[in-house]
Amino acid sequence: MTVKTQRAYNFNAGPSALPISVLEKAQAELIDFRGTGMSVMELSHRSSTYEEVHNQAINSLKELLSIPDQYEVLFLQGGASLQFSMIPMNFLKPGKKAGYVMTGSWSEKAFAEAKLFGDVYQAASAKDGNYRNIPTVSELKFHPEDAYLHLTSNNTIYGTQWADFPDTGDVPLVADMSSDILSRPIDVSKFALIYAGAQKNLGPSGVTVVIIRKDFLEQANTNIPTMLKYSTHAKNNSLYNTPPTFGIYMLGEVLNWVREFGGLSAIAEQNENKANLIYHTIETSNGFYIGHAAPDSHSLMNITFNLKSKELEKKFLEQAKQEGFVGVNGHRSIGGCRVSAYNAVPFETCKAFSEFMGVFQKKNS
């Protein structure tokens, strides 16, 4: 007997919602992948069947993001957190400095790791304003001889996002795009290196995507462990060791879903519509809901807010859970409420939550 499962209203910040069609395809192929009699998880990563999956995922990402030929696409492990160390290990050489733009907890973590390897400084910071905004381009203070400038494109905990990226000239621009990659079109050519954990918009946890310009790669240090060299993975098509094969397979299927959805322009339009529903409810609540991020820094991925009292906030979160909304609690470090409306979160889910917010306000005003 088949039991129909009620899908949750999933606002988890990561791992996050995946497209239902991708999950259904993975389910159908789980036991016998393309007539092999094996799951994709059981295939050798050296087999031609898996290699096709691997290369198709790389090519799909290049196509969707319009990645120029002078870039390598790598599939690594260790999450964005390992990249916090790998980047300075590879590119922060003696006598050089690197600037970090501080926009939240993840940029703080990246900065702290980089300090272990070399000379780093804060090129700008929004900390004094409790990370309510993204620094303006005029606030960025970096040096033409810097090894690189690092920023975090979207801040999951505080709900802020870069609307546009700075032109850094000859200074290599490095970006952690873990929480908004593939959510909108971007100009990859502005960046020397982009990295992103997959578990927000790209697929399940366990895969980290790195997009790195070849001439920047050639400047990397060589006296570091083999597995921590980007060149190791570039030379071996990310197959130097056993990669997270199932995660890469799922990533490839998510990329196919994005293509079928209409590409990044269509995804971006829906993401704006979803976020605007929630922001409109907050902004027209006459102070019942209090948004954290400044309007010019609003994230389309993570919408953060509080209620006018802690007691009311607790009641709101309890009732949201009862109504089937999952992951609405703010990050444990700051509390409050957070709606993470990543690509695979349907418009209808955001609409249902907006309506719930309206009903809750009427009952509790």
- For the domain that residue 33 is a member of, what is the CATH number? 3.40.640.10
Q: Is 176 a known active-site residue?
A: yes
Is 23's pLDDT higher than 70?
yes
Task: Specify whether 237 is located in the same domain as 100.
Answer: yes
Is 124:101 a contact under the CB 8 Å cutoff?
A: yes
Handedness of CA 285, 289, 290, 296 (dihedral sign): negative
Q: Is residue 19 in some structural domain?
A: no
Q: Specify whether 293 is located in the same domain as 157.
A: no
Contacts of 78 (CB under 8 A, 6+ apart): 86, 208
Among 146, 162, 176, 229, which one carries the catalytic annotation? 176
Task: Answer whether residue 18 is part of any domain.
Answer: no
Mean pLDDT of 106-135: 98
- Specify if 3 maps to a domain: no
Residue 5 lies in a domain: no
243 to each of 38, 239, 240, 246, how far by Cα in Å?
A: 18, 6, 8, 9
Q: Is 347 helix (H, G, I), strand (E, B) or coil?
A: helix
Answer yes or no: do 211 and 103 share one domain: yes
Mean pLDDT of all residues belonging to the chain: 97
- The partner residues of 338 in beta bridges, in order of sequence, read 304
Is residue 349 in some structural domain?
yes
Whether residue 96 sits in one domain with residue 199:
yes
Q: Which of 162, 200, 229, 257 is catalytic?
A: 200
Of 96-100, 332-336, 345-349, give the lowest mean pLDDT range. 332-336
State the first-to-last Cα distance of the chain, in angstroms, to the nearest integer.
46
The predicted structure's pLDDT at residue 333: 86
- Is 281 found in the same domain as 250? no
Q: Residue 2: is its pLDDT beyond 80?
A: no
Please check the confidence at residue 1 and state whether its pLDDT lies above 60: no
> Does one domain contain both 199 and 317?
no
Domain count, the chain: 2
Distance, CA of 288 to chain centre: 30
Tell me, yes or no, whether 159 and 69 share the same domain: yes
16 falls within a domain: no
* 114 domain-assigned: yes
Q: What is the pLDDT at residue 265?
A: 98
106 counts as catalytic: yes
Assign 316 to helix, strand or coil.
helix
Domain-embedded: residue 291: yes
Residue 269 is part of a domain; what is its CATH number? 3.90.1150.10
Domain co-membership, 41 together with 188: yes
Domain interval for residue 157: 26-260
Q: Looking at 106, 146, 229, 274, which residue is catalytic?
A: 106
**The predicted structure's pLDDT at residue 149:** 98
Check residue 5 and give its pLDDT.
64
Reported pTM: 0.97
Strand partners, 101: 124
CA pair distance 277, 329, nearest whole angstrom: 19
Instruction: Kindly state whether residues 286 and 162 are assigned to the same domain.
Output: no
pLDDT band at 6 (very low <50, low <70, confident <90, very high): confident
The mean pLDDT of 214-236, rounded to a whole number, is 98
Which of 228, 260, 292 corresponds to the end of one domain? 260
Of the listed ranges 6-10, 104-108, 152-156, 227-231, the one predicted with least confidence = 6-10
Q: In whole angstroms, give the CA distance from residue 291 to residue 283.
A: 8
Burial of 157 (0-12, 13-18, 19+ CB in 10 A): buried
Question: CA-CA-CA-CA torsion for 110, 112, 117, 118, nearest 10 degrees?
Answer: 100
